[in-house]
Chain A
Amino acid sequence: MSAALLTDLTIFILALLVGIEVIGKVPATLHTPLMSATNAIHGIVLVGALLIGVTAHNAVGYVLAFIASFFAGANVVGGYTVTGRMLKMFRKKAPQGEGQPELESLDGHRGIRGLAERIGIGIGRTPS
């Protein structure tokens, strides 16, 4: 086992734990935008696609670089735009009800629950 492999394995395991920790607390109402946001972050593969260019010197390399950068570009830009649109919709919906203060309150749980009630989604188990 090489040192590089060991390092990558370490990063992988720690990243798994960070993922569980960060994602596990997200309330049900935010699951769809979260899915979209994590998908947008996957667009980091654009970096990999760009780096093809460093060693690509023939047709095979250029074709793969073109398709990969095209796909990754669509993933990044589309992903963030669509997530932004989803969250914007979230925001617009809130003030229609009883007003924004509850949502804006720093007490996250009350805000989430209030929003969930407003749009008619019951949160089964809110982590607390």
Chain B
Amino acid sequence: MSVFNGHVGFAGYIQLVYVGVAALFVVGLHLMNSPATARRGNQVALTGMVIAVIATLVLMGHEGTVTTTGWVVLIVGSLLGSAVGLWAARTVQMTAMPQLVSAFNSVGGGAAALVAIYGYYDAESRGAVLGTTSVFTVLDVLIGAVTFSGSIIAAGKPSSGGQA
């Protein structure tokens, strides 16, 4: 939230887009109530995700504080991760899917923990650490790290042929 330092303006419009995205996620999950509409539900949720990422890139461009190295790091990182995810999702055996979902869940939790760690690091370097910041950081990192390690263990467990 550090980006939205009180002043709304442009970031406020992006925030509005995020609200719409949240609605798309809820609608998408709702469509998964029935096998007949479940695929559309997944597509609706995916649409929301694409919109969220585009809106974020627009916001980053508007802020204008992302360094060239920053852009390279983020773009290369996301694309590499996406490629690995796509490859794993396409090639995995149907029987090994639960383990793969667990592995995706794991890296998602890991990412959340890293974002929280950076949030604290950034706040500290600006001398803006509040009491609540510390509490939320600890909770966030703890939950993210537990998800990361727990899901890795879960990913290895039910497999009949060793994975992870």
A interface footprint on B17-41 (CB within 8 Å = 1, 0 otherwise): 0100100011011101111101101
Please report whether the interface of chain A is mostly helix, strand, loop or mixed according to DSSP.
Answer: helix
Q: Could you tell me if B77 and A43 are in contact, using CB atoms closer than 8 angstroms?
A: no
A93 to chain B, nearest CB (A): 10
How many interface contacts (CB-CB < 8 Å) are there between A and B? 261
Which residues does chain B contribute within 8 Å of A115, judged by CB atoms?
Answer: 35
- Residue from A2, A49, A51, A112 with most neighbouring chain B CB atoms (10 Å): A51
Q: Mark B95-108, 1 if CB is under 8 A from A, else 0.
A: 00110110011011
Q: B94 in the interface, Cβ–Cβ < 8 Å?
A: yes
Say yes or no: is A97 at the interface (Cβ < 8 Å to chain B).
no
* Main SS class of interface, B: helix
| Beta-carbon nearest neighbor of B69 in chain A | A62
Question: Chain A 1-32, CB within 8 Å of chain B: the 1/0 string?
Answer: 01011000000000000100011011101101
Bound Cα distance from A4 to B17, whole angstroms: 19
Distance between A23 CB and nearest chain B CB, rounded to angstroms? 7
* A-B residue pairs in contact (CB < 8 Å), sample of 23: A5-B132, A30-B38, A33-B42, A36-B101, A39-B101, A39-B104, A41-B45, A43-B108, A46-B53, A49-B77, A65-B77, A68-B110, A69-B74, A70-B78, A73-B85, A74-B85, A75-B105, A78-B84, A78-B86, A79-B85, A86-B97, A108-B33, A111-B35
Q: Which residues from chain A sit less than 8 Å from chain B, CB to CB? A: 2, 4-5, 18, 22-23, 25-27, 29-30, 32-57, 60-62, 64-91, 94, 103-106, 108, 111-112, 115
User: Chain B: residues with CB nearer than 8 A to chain A?
Assistant: 1-3, 18, 21, 25-26, 28-30, 32-36, 38-39, 41-42, 45-46, 49, 52-53, 56-57, 59-60, 63, 65-67, 69-71, 73-74, 76-86, 88-90, 92, 94, 97-98, 100-101, 104-105, 107-108, 110-112, 114-115, 117-118, 121-122, 132
